[in-house]
Amino acid sequence: MKHVFIEGKRKDLPTLLLLHGTGGNERDLLSLAEIIAPDASVLGVRGNVLENGMPRFFRRLAEGVFDIEDLIFRTQELNDHISDFAEQYSFNRDHVVAIGYSNGANIAASLLYHHQNSLQGAILFHAMVPRQHIELPSLANVPVFIGAGKRDSLIDPEQTKELSAHLRQAGADVTEYWTEGGHQLTREEVEKAKEWFDQHYTNRK
């Protein structure tokens, strides 16, 4: 996978896995990481699927309708790549927190749904339920921040609430933050995500 790795000043912080939205690239969320955890190492990756020339992390059949077979395959592929990158760049594979937006948040959620210990935590901006009717692995002690817009035209608020419910049922410590906005990522959400990250990681004794 095309990617960028930037080593951070603090080795005690988790490595941030940056996962862009449709049409983005491995550098898209670097500015977010700089706000949320400026001293952490970052690994930005680019999705391996193209939709009308725009990079994505997995195929979809229509707006909001995922190609589940491809989702499962690409989730496994990403999980394997994170392990390879951890070896290549000497960061702790068990100490990775994802920051994903839209399609990137959906693949991050899919990691949580399919692979135990794939992520130590996650910040999911404008995510959907990746799969229905499956049993999630234990997510005990995994904190998750979900940022959402009440007027998101692409994601029904009930989808976000269902995602939260699935993660909580698996044991995750879920924090929801709702704005009055739509699908666009807001500064307000990012600042709340920073507060969440500081509470769980930066300032943890």
Task: Identify the sign of the CA torsion 163, 164, 170, 175.
Answer: positive
Q: 97-121, pLDDT tens digit by residue?
A: 999 999 999 999 999 999 999 999 9
Q: 43-85, pLDDT tens digit by residue?
A: 999 999 999 999 999 999 988 889 999 999 999 999 999 999 9
pLDDT at position 58, please?
A: 97
pLDDT at position 64, please?
A: 81
Q: 188-204, pLDDT tens digit by residue?
A: 999 999 999 999 999 87
Per the structure block, which two tokens stand in for 126?
A: 């404008």
CB atoms within 10 A of CB 133: 4
102, 110, 118, 164: which one is catalytic? 102
For residue 39, pLDDT over 60 is answered with yes
Annotated active-site residue 102? The verdict is yes
For residue 205, pLDDT over 70 is answered with no
- Sort 111 into a burial class: Cβ within 10 Å, 0-12 / 13-18 / 19+: buried
Provide the percentage of residues in the chain whose pLDDT is more than 70.
100
For residue 124, pLDDT over 80 is answered with yes
For residue 149, pLDDT over 70 is answered with yes
For residue 184, pLDDT over 80 is answered with yes
Annotated active-site residue 83? The verdict is no
Mean pLDDT (whole number) for 175-200? 97
Domains of the chain (ranges; CATH) run 3-202 (3.40.50.1820)
152, 164, 166, 200: which one is catalytic? 152
Task: Identify the sign of the CA torsion 187, 180, 151, 147.
Answer: positive
Annotated active-site residue 81? The verdict is no
Provide the percentage of residues in the chain whose pLDDT is more than 90.
97
| DSSP secondary structure, 98-115, as one string | EEEETHHHHHHHHHHHH-
